[in-house]
Structure 1
Amino acid sequence: MGAEEIDNGSVDVEESVGNGDGNTESYQLSTLSVDHYLPLPAMIPRIIELCKDLFKQWSEVDDSRFSVEMVSGGITNQLLKVTVEEENGSNVSITVRLYGPNTDYVINRDQELQAIKYLSAAGFGAKLLGVFKNGMVQSFIHARTLEPSDIRKPELAAEIAKQLNKFHKVYIPGSTEPQLWNEILKCYGKASALQFDDTEKQCIFDSISFTEIHNEILEIKEVTSLLDAPVVFSHNDLLSGNLMLNEEEERLYFIDFEYGSYNYRGFDIGNHFNEYAGYDCDFSCYPSKEEQYHFFRHYLQPEEPDEVSQEDLEALYVESNTFMLASHLYWALWALIQARMSPIDFDYLRYFFLRYNEYKKNKEKYCSLARSFLAR
């Protein structure tokens, strides 16, 4: 999860660090790794070494012509911008993404690489240029990362909806079975078996009823199974930090597909609505019915949003808000795992309770809505 800023002085990275064979689907490989825990000054020489190893045309470039800066320190990954001054005086920028330590515990990296190839070809995200032991290198996107307050603006919400419609039409080879409940139950199994070295954290953890959580998972799984929601290739993590906007070109980008998988359409949309709250979980920002209908119109019929029927709006409202509950369950369990595994300075245990309590607050309202809708 991260940010990349506008840099109008850079040239097209694919012209400078492509593999030279014209194959847009291949990328460079390196066995090197970069210690996630290093402070930036100590990390820079390792990043330069990595770039020289991946891109042979830079192997003899003097280190002084590389500049490295941190552009993100999100709650999962770190993003760094590397700019190289070439012989002709032009600058080339790339993005180095360091996977968060232990994130492979919940993320399938092979699946992510497979998805990036096809999504990039469809015009989504940055081009994959290289892969190393604990991260990847991608083309630099000249844009700003959105904030939670941005994504609820009507004009941007409409554009996100249009792009999500296109995203959901991309075909990724492999199993098209929805992964939601497999992933939630997998997270449940890992989360419920955790042990903390920190006595205070263990005490907080022991207060959690995993029997209750398991029963909640089964109930929401049963309710959502009745909705017959379409299965599409989903982003599954469409928060503001994974949306970028080049305002000069008026172009919106989706980035970071590490949680991408085939999933229920309603989950991807409901999960996006939850992200209006940001990391601080200010759920007073959750979109109103009117705001959701605005999004649905541009998602269902991007070219003729005013032609969407009331019936279709209602159905998608029920679908998205019921799967929104599943989103809370997933990220709550994810947060417990991160609380034990991640070295990043973020209060994951608090995040668990914020998400789980919001789930409990909304469960009856939206489960009742779904059952009433299905009973018609």
Structure 2
Amino acid sequence: MGAAIIWDAMEVAGDAQANSSSEIPSSPITIDASLPLPQMIPGVIELCKDLFKKWSNLHDSHFSVETVSGGITNLLLKVTAKETNGNTVSLTVRLYGPNTDYVINRERELQAIRYLSAAGFGAKLLATFGNGVVQSFINARTLTPPDMRNPKLAAEIAKQLRQFHEVDIPGSKEPQLWIDIDKFFDRACSLRFDDHDKQMKYDSISFKEIHSEVFQLKELTDCLNAPVVFAHNDLLSGNLMLNEEEGKLHLIDFEYGSCNYRGYDIGNHFNEYAGYDCDYSLYPTKDEQYHFFRHYLSSDAPDMVTDSDLESLHVEANTFMLASHLYWALWALIQAKISPIDFDYLGYFFLRYDEYKRQKEAAISLAKSYLLKS
């Protein structure tokens, strides 16, 4: 059996039909992500043959398709092909979740992938198709929430996030946080559900209260003058992969990426310490946060970071942490209406909004005290 290899993006592009505007291979084929995997496989094989001409004459038996992961937004498939020369080649097919264009700017995502890939982040973009993208396969395991608080891994995440924030992505440099929250709010406050129980839960929400919370928090965060970077915006454990043999960490999945506040990206990451069970008692302690900040601000000399820089970033991250709860709470309401995925999005709204209210007083007090003395 030939050696397994990771396909180089330029090699793929040379063997595939290129999109004239971007030189990224493209196919109009769509894959129905709601199908069971066995029924999906023939379409996935057809897609790969259409995109990569060196595979067009391979018999279907030369392909294997397996599920890598399935979250509440995307479905990831690993496709492996045994070529006539004996080599086996693996790549990843990512299927967008239905209706996700309502909350994700796919044009912005594709542009970002190109520049971030060139800077060494994530998988290489190999091709696009009707409802997804094809990327190189990363041979690594997905982190779990407890992994993120491992001091060595936390330091590496911080270091890479700083490097990620330094990548220059062409386009508007206006932070998107409040623009996106306003957009989500407008959509979320006028929903109707066919399910009576869902409608009853939805009717219990005070959008007047939420609007007031958003306004007040925006006013406060504006006073912090937080740096604007190109942010990942969704740095949960599922978007971090580790090749333990090589000791290499990979940041992946940039679909929510945009110009945004540095503190938002870090505060949002800290919220994800809660894991999939949303256990916010696992939110990082001040000592854990300072460890992260030192390696974010100066990975080469973390012990040389000044107390004032640590305090500033601590206030920044823990104020924008509140905005993260508002963002994903409103996001969840929209998903509750449009997503066919079997997930309790309405319940998730209340989890995030209740945690926002629980954390609000302490976080706002911290920010105001800092602003008064600075």
TM-score class, shorter: over 0.9
Q: Does the 8 Å CA contact 2:9/2:126 hold for their aligned counterparts?
A: no
Q: Aligned partners of 1:292, 1:16: CA distance in 2, in Å?
A: 40
State yes or no: 1:35 paired with 2:29.
Answer: no
Once structures 1 and 2 are overlaid, which stretch shifts more, 295-304 or 336-345?
A: 336-345
Deviation of the 1:21 alpha carbon:
8.3
Deviation of the 1:9 alpha carbon:
5.6
1:50 aligned partner: 47
SS of alignment partner, residue 267 of structure 1: helix
State yes or no: 1:97 paired with 2:94.
Answer: yes
State yes or no: 1:145 paired with 2:142.
Answer: yes
Q: Aligned partners of 1:189, 1:356: CA distance in 2, in Å?
A: 17
AA in 1 matched with 2:260: N
2:287 aligned partner: 290
AA in 2 matched with 1:312: D
SS of alignment partner, residue 227 of structure 1: coil
SS of alignment partner, residue 93 of structure 2: strand
State yes or no: 1:260 paired with 2:257.
Answer: yes
Q: Aligned partners of 2:291, 2:9: CA distance in 1, in Å?
A: 40
Highest RCO, 1 vs 2 (Cα 8 Å, sep ≥ 6) = 1
1:4 aligned partner: none
Q: Aligned partners of 1:271, 1:16: CA distance in 2, in Å?
A: 35
Q: Aligned partners of 2:172, 2:9: CA distance in 1, in Å?
A: 34
SS of alignment partner, residue 18 of structure 1: helix
Q: Aligned partners of 2:52, 2:137: CA distance in 1, in Å?
A: 15
Q: Aligned partners of 1:282, 1:270: CA distance in 2, in Å?
A: 16
AA in 1 matched with 2:168: Y
1:132 aligned partner: 129
AA in 2 matched with 1:308: V
Deviation of the 1:40 alpha carbon:
0.5
Q: Does the 8 Å CA contact 1:16/1:92 hold for their aligned counterparts?
A: no
Q: Aligned partners of 1:207, 1:15: CA distance in 2, in Å?
A: 50
Deviation of the 1:10 alpha carbon:
2.3
Q: Aligned partners of 2:15, 2:66: CA distance in 1, in Å?
A: 30
Deviation of the 1:15 alpha carbon:
7.0
1:200 aligned partner: 197
State yes or no: 1:13 paired with 2:16.
Answer: no
Q: Does the 8 Å CA contact 2:167/2:230 hold for their aligned counterparts?
A: yes
Q: Aligned partners of 2:37, 2:24: CA distance in 1, in Å?
A: 26
Say what the alpha-carbon RMSD is for the aligned residues.
1.5
Unaligned 5+ runs, structure 1: 1-7
Q: Does the 8 Å CA contact 1:18/1:129 hold for their aligned counterparts?
A: yes
Match of 2:66 among 69, 89, 95: 69
Q: Does the 8 Å CA contact 1:17/1:55 hold for their aligned counterparts?
A: no
1:161-240 equivalences under 5 Å are 161-240=158-237
Q: Does the 8 Å CA contact 1:17/1:57 hold for their aligned counterparts?
A: no
Q: Does the 8 Å CA contact 2:145/2:237 hold for their aligned counterparts?
A: yes
SS of alignment partner, residue 5 of structure 2: coil
> Alpha-carbon deviations, 1:47-101, whole Å to 9, x = none?
0000011111111100000000011110100000000001121110000000000
SS of alignment partner, residue 36 of structure 1: coil
Deviation of the 1:12 alpha carbon:
2.2
State yes or no: 1:316 paired with 2:310.
Answer: no
Runs of 4+, deviation exceeding 4 Å: none
Q: Does the 8 Å CA contact 1:30/1:54 hold for their aligned counterparts?
A: yes
What is the TM-score of this pair, normalised by structure 1? 0.96
Q: Does the 8 Å CA contact 1:85/1:91 hold for their aligned counterparts?
A: yes
Deviation of the 1:361 alpha carbon:
0.3
AA in 2 matched with 1:65: H
Q: Aligned partners of 2:326, 2:174: CA distance in 1, in Å?
A: 20
CA distance change for structure 1 residues 40 and 16 in 2, over 3 Å: closer, same or farther? farther
Q: Aligned partners of 2:102, 2:4: CA distance in 1, in Å?
A: 36
Q: Aligned partners of 2:15, 2:341: CA distance in 1, in Å?
A: 39
Q: Does the 8 Å CA contact 1:230/1:264 hold for their aligned counterparts?
A: yes
2:329 aligned partner: 332
> Alpha-carbon deviations, 1:290-338, whole Å to 9, x = none?
0000000000001000000111111100000000000000000001111
AA in 2 matched with 1:19: A
CA distance change for structure 1 residues 309 and 219 in 2, over 3 Å: closer, same or farther? same
SS of alignment partner, residue 14 of structure 2: coil
SS of alignment partner, residue 48 of structure 2: helix
Q: Aligned partners of 1:266, 1:314: CA distance in 2, in Å?
A: 12
1:120 aligned partner: 117
